[in-house]
Structure 1
Amino acid sequence: MGTAADRVGRQLVSLYESEQTSIFGLASYLEFCPQRLPQSSCLVDCVAIYCASWVRANRGRPVKDVLGSHLFKKAIRSLRSATTSNEAYTPEILASMVLFARVLSFTGEYEHSQLRDHHLGIRHVAQQMGLPNDGDSLHAKLISATASSMIQPITVGVTANLKESPWKEQEALGYSPFWEKDSGEEEEEEEDTEADWNTLDGVHTGYNDDDIADDEIADDVIEAFLAAESKFEEVQAYLERIWLPELLEIWTNPPETKEKTISLLKAISKVERLFGKSLRKAWRGCLSVGLVEKFQDPNFFLGHSYSFAGYRFTGSFLTMLAWQSFLLRILYEFNQLLGVRDENLYGKYRDLCVRIWACAPSLSKLDPVSNVSMFKIIMPSFEIATDEELRHIIDLNIELVGHGVTGNVNIQKLRPHIIQLGEKLTGRQELKPA
């Protein structure tokens, strides 16, 4: 039988290696958890409840049922004990906190604002731990994971400025209601030109599937995809840690001179072009070998749709496309603040959003937990959609629990949530504490 760590480790490995169609298997740090289980009973307990939730989702049973289970209560006790001791600042405890947060999110029982304190705790621990040691793959992967989770606090009104840590330890550790007793819980510059974006037939983004030049297809598709992911990590860091606070300040208190805004937009434009060039190459390469497939879809208003080879790949690609769209929206909106309405930039942004929408039909076929998670990633792209286009998206019957939309979904209910999220992720809305 072995120890609890052995048993939980075997279950995690089995699920992780066999699962390709669920949000549960998307976290890249999972593969480094089994070997760390013997070092932390807290990690054992949190991986156990994570696996139990994963199994329930695979069987089509409500994940929320784990909330009253013995495993759930045990994970809460372990987290409460670990985060109020000297153990708190270790990769194992950070992994435990991240996994537990995912379980809470996947149950569909909590609004974003209810998870705020838990995410603040994760951010506090990640900041206090600093950079990972050489060879610590778990910690390194968790850095990316906690950066991604910053979207969650942003959407409920927590500043994205990570230059300083304004939260006192007692506010961030042990404060989460889920831990309380009886609660239930600069890369080197590359040459780039506008031609990198524009195809010969004038398609703004260069995502023209019918005109793929031989030199646009990567010799090594996986290498191209990983290169795009590497650039994405930089984009993520720049936007969350530096640009969003500066953009918000400019938007809410426009400077008397334009120099600061122009300088910031030049930096964002440079990064967007480099990231877009890398992402375009990966997209075209993946199309060429079938990792991304384009289908004629007469039932969808665009007439076509895309599917991806495996859920992990879906999540990574859609996240990168979404973040590129954030950058383009920023450039368009803040150029307007300077009195410049760039129609070419607007066209580029809309083309990319339409590309993202074409992935929505495949998402509607996922299990409800994965469905919600993926829709959250692409939701800001619908800010640009007309009412008719948004109605077609609603007709896909995508699960909207967890987005603040309850009851019968309609445009009037959904539109305000889309606009709010889009504005917060592009520095156009003041982030007031929830």
Structure 2
Amino acid sequence: MPGVAKSAACANCKKKRIKCDQKWPTCAPCRRSALVCPGPSSTLKFIQHLAPPTDGTPAGKRKAPVSSKAAHPFAVMVDRGHLSPYNNGNALHGSFRLQVPRFKSTTTADRVSAQLVHLLEIKERTGLELPPYLKFVPERLSHSNCLADSIALLYLTWHQASRGESQAKVLGSRTYGKALKSLQRAVNSQAVYTVETLAAMVILLGLTVHYKPFTLIDYRPHTVAIRHVMRQIGAPQIQSSLHIGLIQSTEGLIGGHFESPWRETNEILQSLSGNNERREGEKEVEAFARTSLEGIMTVFRPYLSNTLPTVLKIRKDPIAMSGSRESVLQDILDVRGLVEAARKDLWEVCSSPGFMAELPEPNFFLGHKVVFTSSTIANYVLSLTMMNISVLAVLYDVQKLYGTVNEPARAESQNLCLKIWKCLPYLESLDAATSTRLLKSVASVFEHATDEEISSILETNLEWSNLGAKSRTDREGFRAEVTRISNLWYCRGSGQQEVQYSIRPPDKS
């Protein structure tokens, strides 16, 4: 009978004494541990039982037939060593060597490419955004060190998340420093205006946003640099899938406060998405929204850099800072008036022709949903609305510190928060990268949600792990992360939080 292998498990599994599923070229345990799988064991023991002798030949002199077919579909057996008697001469004992045809990573680009392919193939949800353009990256890795180093950092981030470890460790890793230095070298060389360098810039910006979900940190230098490189490279060719994918994924990210440099590529992008027609007037609405947001930012940036630091001092010592109360309140009220006026104008412009609409949605716990004709319009509307909510929250908190409870401001803030809650069904219809980015930008609207409301919110099909929820029932993790972001937005001290109260109006029935 044919020889039987003692064990075909890979050396890693044997060393750890765990079960190897032998699914080559990489077994599942090695895949989970992000190890290079050595493949099946190089040497297999076998025992060949012999038929009773018919010619009187001693067992030790008889030869065992060797099959030309491998016991494993990926292996080729080669005779190794001499055969020796076994079981009182009734069998022969020996070994065969397996030659396994498997891919060997000979360069850094090959290794990183294999990691990226593995990352794209698995379906585990780790909270890391994986934009579609990544599938076009492997063939480019050998042409760009900075792109290879950025992908290696991306893989390390996923690996930390999949093992349940803190992803913050990545920021102090050698891989992170190597990726930054590699990109810096590319930017200072002739390789700066290439699609590969652009991809590395976009990946690193995405990871930065992932590590620090929407704080008051200004990402303007990063987005300006990406827009500059995009313009210098020029419009993409229809066959350049990676270039087009980068433009699609960054359209909202760099277009929030800046004019998009890729209006001439609309026909290409629309043809790829199957949407060859845009609603009449949609471009004009987007232009109006962009202009409104850019105008408000001219007054909102000084508010962030001047007024909010004073608010933080007032929170720390209201009595000592009482002399600054009136001037700070007046500054907040001035910004509130401008932001509120711009937000109302934008809502009217978007709602009249139906570019933004509130519709019945019986499957959603609020019974209604707010939808938009494009994610670009949604981005502008949500941004202005969040500015309005943040100013109202700071106004309410400062007045409350000095004994005045501004109920109209709180009621107005609740109404705006409810509007954003109703956008959740629309966010479910977007790609994962866009919906996650918009969720992070509006995280503070969930601050005052009750436990019942949080449970309903987490039931929506969105990636809530980016906002602290380890599962759809993790209300504590979700509330802790939302509170942290709200404290940053509203310049509160750590640990401060308003009492929860229902955002929803009471049921009239």
- For residues 99 and 236 of structure 1, the distance between their equivalents in structure 2, rounded to whole angstroms, comes to 26
Q: What is the aligned counterpart of 2:309 among 245, 248, 273?
A: 245
How has the CA–CA distance of structure 1 residues 412 and 85 changed in structure 2, closer, same or farther, with 3 Å as cutoff? Answer: closer
How has the CA–CA distance of structure 1 residues 252 and 377 changed in structure 2, closer, same or farther, with 3 Å as cutoff? Answer: same
Contact 1:224/1:278 (CA < 8 Å) preserved in 2?
A: no
396-405 vs 68-77, greater mean Cα deviation? 68-77
Matching of residue 63 in structure 1 with residue 166 in structure 2? no
Give the superposition deviation at 1:69. Answer: 4.6
Residue type of the partner of 1:374? L
Residue type of the partner of 1:80? K
Contact 2:146/2:186 (CA < 8 Å) preserved in 1?
A: no
Give the superposition deviation at 1:297. Answer: 1.4
Contact 1:228/1:275 (CA < 8 Å) preserved in 2?
A: no
Residue type of the partner of 1:419? T
Equivalence for 1:393: 457
More helix by share: 1
Deviations 1:120-178 (A, max 9, x none): 9x778899x9xx9xx99x9xx99x95998xxxxxxxxxxxxxxxxxxxxxxxxxxxxxx
Deviations 1:196-228 (A, max 9, x none): xxxxxxxxxxxxxxxxxxxxxxxx855653442
Give the superposition deviation at 1:404. Answer: 3.2
**What is the TM-score with the length of structure 2 in the denominator?**
0.48
Contact 1:79/1:96 (CA < 8 Å) preserved in 2?
A: no
Equivalence for 2:434: 370
- For residues 430 and 291 of structure 2, the distance between their equivalents in structure 1, rounded to whole angstroms, comes to 28
Unaligned stretches of 5+ residues in structure 1: 1-48, 149-219
Percent identity over the alignment is 20
More strand by share: 2
Equivalence for 2:481: 417
Give the superposition deviation at 1:80. Answer: 2.4
Contact 2:366/2:422 (CA < 8 Å) preserved in 1?
A: yes
Contact 2:223/2:254 (CA < 8 Å) preserved in 1?
A: no
Moved over 3 A (4+): 64-74, 76-79, 84-88, 91-98, 110-113, 122-127, 144-148, 220-224
Contact 1:232/1:275 (CA < 8 Å) preserved in 2?
A: yes
Residue type of the partner of 2:428? S
- For residues 435 and 287 of structure 2, the distance between their equivalents in structure 1, rounded to whole angstroms, comes to 28
Q: State the secondary structure of the residue aligned to 1:402.
A: helix
Q: State the secondary structure of the residue aligned to 2:188.
A: coil
Residue type of the partner of 1:285? V
Cα RMSD over matched residues? 4.6
Q: State the secondary structure of the residue aligned to 1:301.
A: coil
Equivalence for 1:274: 338
Size of the aligned set, in residue pairs, is 292
How has the CA–CA distance of structure 1 residues 70 and 334 changed in structure 2, closer, same or farther, with 3 Å as cutoff? Answer: farther
Contact 1:112/1:402 (CA < 8 Å) preserved in 2?
A: no
Q: What is the aligned counterpart of 1:100 among 179, 203, 213?
A: 203
How has the CA–CA distance of structure 1 residues 84 and 239 changed in structure 2, closer, same or farther, with 3 Å as cutoff? Answer: farther
Residue type of the partner of 2:204? A
Give the superposition deviation at 1:352. Answer: 0.8
Contact 2:392/2:409 (CA < 8 Å) preserved in 1?
A: yes
- Structural mapping, 1:144-159, within 5 Å: none
How has the CA–CA distance of structure 1 residues 357 and 290 changed in structure 2, closer, same or farther, with 3 Å as cutoff? Answer: same
Which of the pair has more CA radius of gyration?
Answer: 2
Ranked by relative contact order (alpha carbons within 8 Å, sequence separation 6 or more), the top structure is 1
**What is the TM-score with the length of structure 1 in the denominator?**
0.55
Q: State the secondary structure of the residue aligned to 1:401.
A: helix
Give the superposition deviation at 1:336. Answer: 0.7
Give the superposition deviation at 1:74. Answer: 3.7
- For residues 492 and 211 of structure 2, the distance between their equivalents in structure 1, rounded to whole angstroms, comes to 22
- For residues 320 and 298 of structure 1, the distance between their equivalents in structure 2, rounded to whole angstroms, comes to 28
- Structural mapping, 1:31-430, within 5 Å: 63=130, 66=134, 69=138, 71=140, 74-75=146-147, 80-81=181-182, 83=184, 87=188, 99-104=202-207, 111-112=211-212, 224-429=288-493
Q: State the secondary structure of the residue aligned to 1:290.
A: coil
Equivalence for 2:76: none
Contact 2:289/2:346 (CA < 8 Å) preserved in 1?
A: yes
Q: State the secondary structure of the residue aligned to 2:447.
A: helix
- For residues 252 and 307 of structure 1, the distance between their equivalents in structure 2, rounded to whole angstroms, comes to 41
Give the superposition deviation at 1:344. Answer: 0.8
Unaligned stretches of 5+ residues in structure 2: 1-112, 150-178, 235-249, 258-283, 496-509
How has the CA–CA distance of structure 1 residues 430 and 280 changed in structure 2, closer, same or farther, with 3 Å as cutoff? Answer: same
Contact 1:79/1:97 (CA < 8 Å) preserved in 2?
A: no
- For residues 309 and 420 of structure 1, the distance between their equivalents in structure 2, rounded to whole angstroms, comes to 32
Give the superposition deviation at 1:70. Answer: 6.5
Residue type of the partner of 2:184? T
Q: State the secondary structure of the residue aligned to 2:364.
A: coil
